[in-house]
Structure formats: structure tokens, C-alpha cells
Amino acid sequence: MPQPLPVRPARPDEVAAASSGADAGIRINVFELAGGQAFFDSLVDRFYQGVESDPELLALYPDRDDLAGARRRLAMFLAQYWGGPTTYSEERGHPRLFMRHRPFRIDAAGVDRWLRHMRAAVAELAPPAPVEARLLAYFDMAAAAMRNTE
């Protein structure tokens, strides 16, 4: 009888195809499972609709009258992080998220506002459950890491 293949831990940009059956142990790229670049573009668009309706959060953006650049950078970053094209790094170098956000005063209330809009965007798009879980866990961790003010 053939021995089952060992199941390796998932990389951050992967989810298990299935927990049992023929697809058990197969890892799927989150970028692809979510729907590719179109998913991340839509996620970022929905997120920024929330940002634009939130004066306190919008005040953190230096170019609040034109968020096109911020939208593009976030969509490129998220796509790359989850296994898509490396356009973000090719254009901007290493993400260095904390360093890039350091000039902005980000307190617990700002983290909560950011998360509220990002969670709403994820909920509205309703990705497959494993994708949603990975996205939300990442956003919780990343948002908390950006806090730089009491």
C-alpha cells in the first residue's frame, strides 16, 4: 500500500486545498484561490471607500485628495504577499511596512478604524473561508504592528 505524502506546513501565501480526500495535503496559492489580481484590486477599492468615508482615518493620508497611488501600492503589496506578481518589490523595493508607516501617528483608535474598514471589505467580497481566515489573521497582525503611538 502506498504511503501518503508528508504534509508540509503551508507558506504564508498558501492554504490547504482540502483537509481530507484526494486534495488533502495539496497547497493552493492564496492569490489564485482568492481570484487573482482582480480580487485584490476589488478588496482595496472597497477598503478605500471606507477610508474615504472616515475623516479621522483619511486624515492620516498625506495625499487624501487623490488616493490612486495609495490604492495601487496596497493592491500590489497584497497581491505579492499572497503569492501574486512581484510588481510591488520591483517598483518600490522591500516593503519595510513599519518604516514606511512610521511618519504617521498610528494609535489604537487608528488601528481599529483601519481594521474595521478592511474587515468590512473582506466580508463584502466573501472569499473562500480559508482565504478569509488567512487574510483576517494577517490584517490583525499587520495593523497591530503598525501602531507607533500610545
**pLDDT of the chain, 150 residues: tens digit per residue:** 444 433 433 456 556 554 555 444 556 789 999 999 999 999 999 999 999 999 999 988 888 788 999 999 999 999 999 999 999 999 988 767 666 667 678 899 999 999 999 999 999 999 999 999 999 999 999 999 888 888
- Let me know: does 69 contact 53? Beta carbons within 8 Å: no
Strand partners, 14: 29
3-state helix, strand, coil in the chain (%, to 5): 55, 5, 35
Cell 482595496 belongs to: 44
pLDDT at 4: 44
H-helix or E-strand spanning residue 14: strand 14-16
pTM: 0.80
Map out the domains of the chain as residue ranges. Answer: 35-146
pLDDT at 23: 47
**What is the CATH architecture of 35-146?**
Orthogonal Bundle (1.10)
pLDDT at 68: 94
- Let me know: does 60 contact 101? Beta carbons within 8 Å: no
Task: Look up residue 12 and give its DSSP letter.
Answer: T
H-helix or E-strand spanning residue 15: strand 14-16
Strand partners, 28: 15
